Amino acid sequence: MRREQLSRVFGALEDRQIAEAYRFDPARCEHAPERIVPMKKKRILAFALAAALLLSLSVVAYAAYDRVSGPKAAERVALEQLEVWQEMGLLSEEIRFDSPATYVEERQARQGSDYWYGRLFPHCFELRYSNEKYHCQLMVDTLSGKIVLARISAQPDETDEPVAVEPRGGEMSTYVYDNFDDIFPSDLTVDDLCARLSEYWGFSGYRIGETVDDYFPAYEKQWPPIDGATLLKDMPKLNPTQYYLTVFFEGDQEGAPMYVELGNYPSYVDLTIGNHHSIG
């Protein structure tokens, strides 16, 4: 049975139904209580206990099997996991969303193409949050309850000053913001980020790979592996206005990388982490 079907089946059970499933009620027996011999009572009790044990194990298995069974659960888990990222030092503690998600949509599991190195994208809920400062898109795996994709953007404050991007091929200079400290700690390095993500996803290590994109001419460029000691906020300076890197985690789907992408623009900065990127 598919995990989505299990989710709906168990999600439809109410507490009273679970209680009734293993409560022994002599009034419901076929014979009057005085006609039940001791052996039959023992047999009924044994069946009742077995049913209760089976049901309890099923409920526990379900809880571990599918944490996110619906939109309401998805909203709760998404905000909980954002707090986990903040506690791990992955995100700024200033990121807060007091209003409900502006968008919640279930996404079925799918097999990625060669462009995504054959990655299997899990059954997820996509959620979007927004306020005057931040915009956030999250993909939460219904099985693990963990974030598998996060895109967070932050608008600059009035005190933030734009910085000039060196022109290319005679183009006019572009002014962008680099207020990445609104999204993540300013002292966070690439190695710090990857090590903490590895711990969060339950992997045993990571390798920073080369970033290659041969599918679109505009991005037919190869960057060597970045030094892990590089401050994350300095990544865009290596390739102004757009930079991303690939990270291979030990224990993840073989040959399928995760991505870390930063962008700074004339009106905001953003960070993308997870099994997807926006290049191309």
Q: What is the pLDDT of residue 187?
A: 97
Q: Is residue 269's pLDDT more than 90?
A: yes
Residue with tokens 């041969």: 214
Give the C-alpha separation, 126 to 148, whole Å.
Answer: 10
Which residues lie below 8 Å from residue 87, measured CB to CB, with a gap of 6+?
none
Residue bearing the bigger pLDDT, 267 or 54:
267
Q: Which two tokens stand for residue 22?
A: 């293993």
| Spatial separation of the C-alpha atoms in residues 236 and 249, rounded to whole Å | 23
* Mean pLDDT, residues 17-30 taken together: 49
Among 188, 178, 181, 232, CA closest to 88: 188
Backbone angles phi, psi at 54, to 5 degrees: -65, -45
Q: How confident is the model at residue 212 (pLDDT cuts 50, 70, 90)?
A: low
Q: Residue 216: what pLDDT?
A: 44
Structure tokens at 239: 């390739």
Pick the closest to residue 251 from 191, 201, 204, 195 (CA basis): 204
Residue 75's alpha-carbon distances to 47, 86, 103, in angstroms, are 39, 17, 10
DSSP summary character for residue 166: P
Instruction: State residue 98's pLDDT score.
Output: 94
DSSP codes joined into one string, 133-158: SEEEEEEEETTT--EEEEEEEEPPPT
Q: Which long-range contacts (CB under 8 A, 24 or more apart) does 236-239 make?
A: 236/178, 236/262, 236/263, 236/264
Whether 67 and 142 have beta carbons less than 8 Å apart is answered as yes
Residues 6+ apart with CB under 8 A from 128: 101, 102, 103, 104, 135, 136, 137, 138
20-29, 131-140, 162-171, 204-213: range with lowest mean pLDDT: 20-29
Q: Report which of residues 7 and 73 the model is more confident about.
A: 73
pLDDT at 59: 43
Q: How confident is the model at residue 13 (pLDDT cuts 50, 70, 90)?
A: very low
The arithmetic mean of pLDDT across residues 202-218, rounded, is 71
Q: Name the token pair of 98.
A: 């007091």
Q: Dihedrals φ, ψ of 139, to 5°?
A: -120, 120
* Residue 29: both structure tokens together: 């027996």
In the predicted structure, residue 99 carries a pLDDT above the cut 70? yes
Task: Report d(CA 246, CA 261) in Å as an integer.
Answer: 9
- Compute the distance between CA of residue 203 and CA of residue 80 in angstroms, rounded to an integer: 21
What does the pLDDT read at residue 217? 44
Gap between the Cα atoms of 64 and 277, Å rounded: 29
pLDDT recorded at residue 175: 84
pLDDT above 90 covers a percentage of the chain that reads: 46
Could you tell me the pTM of the whole model?
A: 0.72
pLDDT of residue 74: 96
> Residue 240 — very low, low, confident or very high, per pLDDT cuts 50/70/90?
low
Per-residue pLDDT, averaged over 104-116, amounts to 89
Q: How many helices and strands in the chain, by DSSP H and E? A: 6, 14
